Structure formats: structure tokens, C-alpha cells
Amino acid sequence: MVRGVELRQLEYFVAVVEEANFTRAAERVHVSQSGVSAQIRQLERELGQTLLDRSGRTVRLTTAGAAILPSVRTVLDGVDATRQAADELGGLMRGRIAVGMVTACTVRGLFVALEAFHARFGAIEISLNEDSSDRLIDGVLTGRFDVALLGTATALPAALASLQVADEALVAAVPFEHPLAQASAIALGDLERYPLITLPAGAGVRHAFDTACAAAGLSPRVALEASAPDVVAGLAERGLGVAVLSETMARARGGTLHAAVIDNPPLRSRLELAWRAGGTASPAAAAFITFARDAFAAG
């Protein structure tokens, strides 16, 4: 392009070509018709060519206009890409991100991701809130959370994209002197015979357990609740009930607790990092998702 050509002249030129009319083009770019006409005449003078045929009822490209149109579009596309990159950089310099976390979460990968993200983008404000999985899903769908680590026993809504972080069987953990200590597996219905110790309602493991019990029409007795897996295991060690935990949680107490897999039906608890599908994440949220993928892959 010629040195004296201005960006707005190119934008007005494309608008007139696409609208085939100066009046409609002027409305599109929010400039008076005389202003659009004047700028395109100036463009033609700079290039030394007549670009538009104004003789008919509709405006048409001349041979010279048709020849330069692809180059003009390339220039404007490049400007749009530059603007988008600048907007994204600005979002990463001064944005904010709202992260949700399922109640009683102890997954190290999330905390590693938060630490690495904060070290890289210290100016971005981070909020972190615990909640039940159902409310976290709703919060991501409505935009209250940009991303959330949640527990689920069923498929997530189609409007969410997700990264599976964990998929584990649930177990009944008991002291070695307990009657269940001889069993490698136990039916879900048989747990109605015992007082149970669980994480709070809404926690990932508890959500999977409650969902399975509701589907089977069971009403087991939850005698004690604790917000941390270690506390649930500690209460079970003291004979206060049967602890419902994930395999990993129970394995940490393998020296004092026996874990029987809950079967018939088999129970599994999944942890997923979820965000809105369709590319709606902010630059800050998109960057955090990348950090989280790396953290969970490393873990």
C-alpha cells in the first residue's frame, strides 16, 4: 500500500464494496456519506487509480479496485489480529479469575496450578471458593466461576468442557478387627447395617455415594461427617463407624484400616476440571486452564 493511505480509508473502501452503496456503508461505519465519499476519493488519489464505478444504481469495483481488494482485506485482517493479541495481553495483565473447588478438596494439582499461575501473572486477581459439585456446575454455566474442580458421578452438561483429573473406586474403610475387615468387596446395600463416616454433602466422594444411594433407593445412616479425609479415616480407626473414602484416601491409612471396594453396583468418583465450552473463557481463564493441564499432567 502507498505510504499516505490511512487505515480508515481501507475500512471505508471495503464497507462500500460489501454494501454496494455509499449510504449503507456510511451507516455501517457510523460516518456521514460525504465523509465516506471524501475518504475514498482521497484513497483513489493516493493510489492513482479509480477503484469504484459510481455510474450505476449500485457501486461496483473497477478493474483496479478488484485487483487491490484482496490486499486490502489482508491488511485489515492483520490489524484485527493485532488488536485481538493486544486485548488478550491486556486481559492477562489486569484481569481476574474466579476458581471453584469442591468441598474438602485435597488434590495437589489445583494448588500447584494456582501457585504457578500467580507467579507468572501476579497482577491478576484470583478468587477461590469451595462449594458443592452441583452448585459449582451451575456457577460455571452462569459465569460465577471461570473454572471449577468438581466431583461427579454422571456426565457433565454438554455446555461444559472438562479435563478428567481422577477416576477412582469408592471403598468402605474399617479397622482390622471390624467384621468387614475380611471382605474384599461389599454391596452398597449392605452398608445400611452400619453407621457411616463421610465427607460433607457436596464433596466429590460424598456426591458420588449419595447419587448411587438415591438411584438404588437406599437410605444409609451417616453418623459422622468431617471436612477432611484424614479426619474421616481417623474416626474410623477409633471404631466410630465405616468410612466411605476413595481408594487413594484409604490407601494413605493402609497400616490401620482395611479397605473393601463398594460393589453391586460399583461406585466410582470422578474429579473434573470444568469450564464453559465454545471458547468463552477470558484470556486469564484460558491461561489458567493451560497451567492446570500442565500441573495435573505432572502430578
Residue 120 belongs to some domain of the structure: yes
| CATH code (residue 222) | 3.40.190.10
Residue 222 belongs to some domain of the structure: yes
The reported pLDDT for the residue numbered 257 is 95
The reported pLDDT for the residue numbered 140 is 92
Considering its fold, how many domains does the chain have in total?
A: 3
CA distances from 298 to 104, 151, 291 (A): 22, 20, 11
Q: What is the mean pLDDT of residues 235-264?
A: 93
Residue 249 belongs to some domain of the structure: yes
Q: Which residues pair with 163 in a beta bridge?
A: 273
Torsion of CA 238, 242, 245, 248, to 10 degrees: 60
Whether residue 2 is predicted with pLDDT greater than 50 in this model: the reply is no
Q: What is the mean pLDDT of residues 15-26?
A: 90
Residue 1 belongs to some domain of the structure: no
- 141 and 276 both lie in a single domain: yes
- 23 and 115 both lie in a single domain: no
Q: Which residues pair with 61 in a beta bridge?
A: 52
The rounded distance, in Å, linking the Cα atoms of 252 and 151 is 20
Half-sphere exposure of 130 (CA within 13 A, CB side): 10
The reported pLDDT for the residue numbered 238 is 95
- 181 and 246 both lie in a single domain: yes
The rounded distance, in Å, linking the Cα atoms of 209 and 127 is 29
Least confident of 38-42, 88-92, 100-104, 260-264: 88-92
The reported pLDDT for the residue numbered 91 is 53
| Domain interval for residue 238 | 167-269
Q: Which residues contact 221 (CB under 8 A, 6 or more apart)?
A: 192, 194, 195, 196
The model's confidence at residue 145, banded by pLDDT at 50, 70 and 90, is very high
- 141 and 187 both lie in a single domain: no
Q: What is the mean pLDDT of residues 226-237?
A: 92
CA distances from 128 to 111, 149, 234 (A): 11, 11, 28
> Would you state the cell numbers that stand for residue 190, as one nine-digit string?
449392605
Q: Which residues contact 21 (CB under 8 A, 6 or more apart)?
A: 58, 59
Residue 288 belongs to some domain of the structure: yes
Backbone angles phi, psi at 256, to 5 degrees: -125, -15
Cis peptide before 283 (omega within 30 of 0): no
The model's confidence at residue 85, banded by pLDDT at 50, 70 and 90, is low
| CATH code (residue 24) | 1.10.10.10
Residue 2 belongs to some domain of the structure: no
Q: What is the mean pLDDT of residues 92-107?
A: 80
- 128 and 37 both lie in a single domain: no
- 276 and 155 both lie in a single domain: yes
Whether residue 213 is predicted with pLDDT greater than 80 in this model: the reply is yes
